[in-house]
Structure 1
Amino acid sequence: MDLHEQFRRSALELGVPDDEVARFGQFLRFAIWTGSEPHGSPVGRRGGRPLHGDAERLLAGAGTLPFVASFDCAALPGIDDLALPKDGSLLFFLDHEEAVEADSAEDAQRFARVVHVPADSGAVSVDGGHDLFARVRPELPHWLGMDEQALSGYQQHQARDLPHRHELVALVGSLWPKGQQAEIRIGGYSGHTGGLSGKNVHATPEAGMAWENIKDRKAGTTPDEMMFAMEEELDRVMREWVPLAQFRADELHVGRFLVRHDDLAALRLDEVLTVTEFLE
């Protein structure tokens, strides 16, 4: 049984109407949380130095960028709506200190790279670092668990069709209890690193994209109307993009690799957007 179907059956057993379960399920995402706590077989390795017999060609463009991690695609658990490669290795490189100081988002891309090494090219080994193990975890937008009076206008609009949302949030927690925190998260939602002006809207790379898309609509709109438009656009952006990987680069920086679902499915990894954030 896939995870969304497991949730659906459990929710129906609670007496929640099928159409409400389906609507809530649109917000439920699953992510691969990887860390050093042993759990099954390793799925990747963090740190160290990647080794491959044809590394000069396959890793062209990565140059001397710091290596973040490598994942064995065949060993990663499959999750809904995340079209990861079925085999081969995914390698992530990021110079977070240079990226965060870049003059523009475009310039920052020079300091990051994602590489897929096909299985028929031979295995990638890593000298040094430590093993990563995977667990699949559910993720939900934070507002689903908030009280009605704390919701923004757009969130209240969405919550009208979810009268059992608190029970469903609790159900997700009971089906998949919390465990070890992740070193590197694959899929799911972007984590918050700060506040964005406006009620219950937090700073994520997707929020920045949404704001750029709607900021010119200010003329003739009230602040509440502008915030509603912002959150509506943010919903659209989050359906289009997914965090391919996000992690603490060090004590002061968060690194993210974002990609459109269509680009990931086509393995257009040159379209991956890297965002490095400074934790204030």
Structure 2
Amino acid sequence: MTRLAFDDYLRHLRADSTRLRTVLAGCDPEARVPGCPDWTAANLLGHHGGVLQFWADIVEQRPAGPDDDWTEPEKPASYDDLLAYHEEQEARLVAALAAADPAEEAWTWSSEQTVGFTFRRQAHEALIHRLDAEQTAGEVTPLDPVLATDGVEEALAVMFGGGPTWGTFTGYGRHVRVDVADTGASIWVELGRFTGTDPESGKVYDEDDIAAVADPGSEPDAVLVGPAADLDAWLWRRGGDDRLEVSGDRTTYDAFRRVVNQAIE
């Protein structure tokens, strides 16, 4: 298990959100964000501030979800006001989570409908966007390896492998084991196919997919090894694969790579 205590998620959420804002405060508002080339520093600051605001609203109004007619609030126009807005929304979300029981029911876009989901997801949201800010400013500092290890599991199990309940994942019986070199964790992934029809849009899905699974008790078809920070950044397309090692069946690994070689929001 890679999970952290909820108090630790909250500590990381606060620290990484503050670090993001501190770095961006000294940055050119028009500087480009390497991990999101269409964004400027101002876009990144406004985006993460908006994320903090949205989830503060959700936790405060639990268990109700967003209104059917919800639209994204307008952000402040000036960079200084964006910095203040981000600080205010960080404080709101941290306070809302600190006052909540992680087991309480709360809306999320996931099948997990608890406040605990927001603790974890927003800690990782802050971590990756903190990395965005540091890459934008050229001031990259190490990612916490324990949090990054959990980030690898979350990316594989939730962000890439967490298919909606209206669809079906059918495994192929081919497995990739992701070994986190500096923390000793291993995450198993099965390749397969996701099929289903989105009940809202009517869009039909029939595509290659992955699912995080328990150790199947057999040898993996392929193994990916690397430090936690490098694996987490690579999965989020914020870093290269120069410190990652691949062994085993290359066809299996290439199929896995195609599934995760796409942007996740």
Task: Specify the TM-score bucket, using the shorter chain as the normaliser.
Answer: under 0.3
Bigger proportion of residues as helix: 2
TM-score for both structures, normalised by structure 2: 0.26
Higher relative contact order (CA 8 A, sep 6+): 1
- Bigger CA radius of gyration: 1
Q: Which has the higher strand share?
A: 1
TM-score normalised by L of structure 1:
0.25
